[in-house]
Chain A
């Protein structure tokens, strides 16, 4: 089989992205975090040696982008060592961080190790909203210091703001803060409703009016500043009529390794009832090309109606498998974001609640180990 013509033609491309989620530990408590809500039950982080092996094997397959995230990757004291190895192997190395746990010395050490890029997250454009959502009274102040240290080291300044109901109206503040910090790229990413985000969906989802205003402001900035900051505006897919081509297709480019070594086609896939392979048991090459899990939703044989006969199936791959599972109970169903999905009503109901004039405030469930244990106990 291995040498048959058809297998060669059907062979998926190499992974381009290795996302190393080094830990689920984090000093912040953002209620839209994409980490699994049962993270308190996930122990036994990979060792330095195990991470080095994963990084080498993925590079051999052709991965070019290496992202270090978490949790907060700075919690890992071997971060500099892992960055140095990634850099030496020819990866473009990215650190995705809240900045908490960093100081000017550590920024310099990471630079020395060959780190190419730091993406620094803020929770809002203003101190009070930022700190409420971070669940930390000093977060904003610390981030400003770190942002300057990052800039001083000559890094591109890449800022990330997760947008939601309570900060999306501050877009002017967000852009002003970004300009003041000398940002080169600004990600304005609307909350995706997985993990903690789904738990807090009613509290976080903006109204259509809020969203349209933010998008218009973004476009206005782009027109007025053709060589200014590059803005990436990620729309919340609940407001789309067609699903996103999630991860550019299952097992097509992205490989996430969770803190305990579980290999996933995206950072949310852990929620799916699939037996994912583990880097302690299999090589990265076997995981990518031969594991059942990574082949589960490749191609279109797995699709059901309305996807299987849809002319757009090669464009959006039926949307997000995690969203299909979380909202319909079957990961092979059409992503309910699609207006053709029989379960699309779930999306329109959530959107209607977000647009309701008399919307009641819903309390936020913060992302922390205590709340994770409570959710696990509830089952």
Chain B
């Protein structure tokens, strides 16, 4: 499905933004909204600017040095997000 060098991009027609009223990141799409939990929000906010999966893992590992299962969690999230068609890989 994807490799470490794959570049995840938020799918066309989805918009990712912080919602003050919900106090969380959300994904907006035609007539719908997904409220994201903290880790999903953190991961998706790293997407864009040609950043690869490996680079996202590296960046988040520096930010959360105590999260030892972080690389697996990021990969699992991207699998789910791809399945749900929230993201594509360049």
Contact = CB atoms under 8 A, between A and B. Distances in A.
A182 interface: no
Contacts of B17: 90
Interface stretch (A58-66, A77-85, A291-299): A58-66
Contacts of A117: 13, 30-31
A14 B26 CA distance: 15
A227 B12 CA distance: 15
Contact of A64 (B13, B33, B85): B33
A16 B15 contact: no
Contacts of A14: 21
Interface string B65-89: 0000000000000000000010000
B83 to A, nearest CB: 9
Given A62-B21, A92-B15, A158 B85 contact: no
B36 interface: no
Contacts, number: 43
A193 B26 CA distance: 33
Interface residues of A, number: 21
Interface size class of B (residues with CB under 8 A): 10 to 19
Interface in B7-24: 12-13, 15, 17, 19-22
B13 A65 contact: no
B34 to A, nearest CB: 11
A244 B80 CA distance: 28
Nearest to A96: B31
B2 interface: no
A277 interface: no
A222 B31 CA distance: 20
A119 B30 contact: yes
B19 A64 contact: yes
Nearest to A15: B21
Nearest to A232: B31
B30 A116 contact: yes
Contact of A185 (B12, B19, B21, B30): B30
A135 interface: no
Given A116-B13, A117-B13, A92 B21 contact: no
B30 A94 contact: yes
A156 interface: yes
Nearest to A230: B85
B26 A64 contact: yes
Contacts of A230: 85
A158 B29 CA distance: 11
Interface in B27-85: 28-33, 85
Interface string A198-240: 0000000000000000000000000000010010000000000
A32 B36 CA distance: 37
B30 A156 contact: yes
Contacts of A94: 30-31
A16 B32 CA distance: 9
Nearest to A60: B21
Interface of B: 12-13, 15, 17, 19-22, 26, 28-33, 85
Given A64-B19, A90-B17, A117-B31, 20 more contacts: A14-B21, A16-B33, A61-B21, A62-B19, A62-B20, A62-B21, A62-B22, A64-B26, A65-B31, A65-B32, A67-B31, A92-B28, A94-B30, A116-B28, A117-B30, A119-B31, A156-B12, A156-B13, A184-B13, A227-B85
Q: Which 4 A-B pairs give the minimum distances between C-beta atoms? A: A62-B21, A92-B28, A156-B13, A117-B30
12 contacts: A14-B21, A61-B21, A62-B21, A65-B28, A65-B32, A92-B28, A92-B30, A92-B33, A117-B31, A119-B31, A154-B12, A155-B13
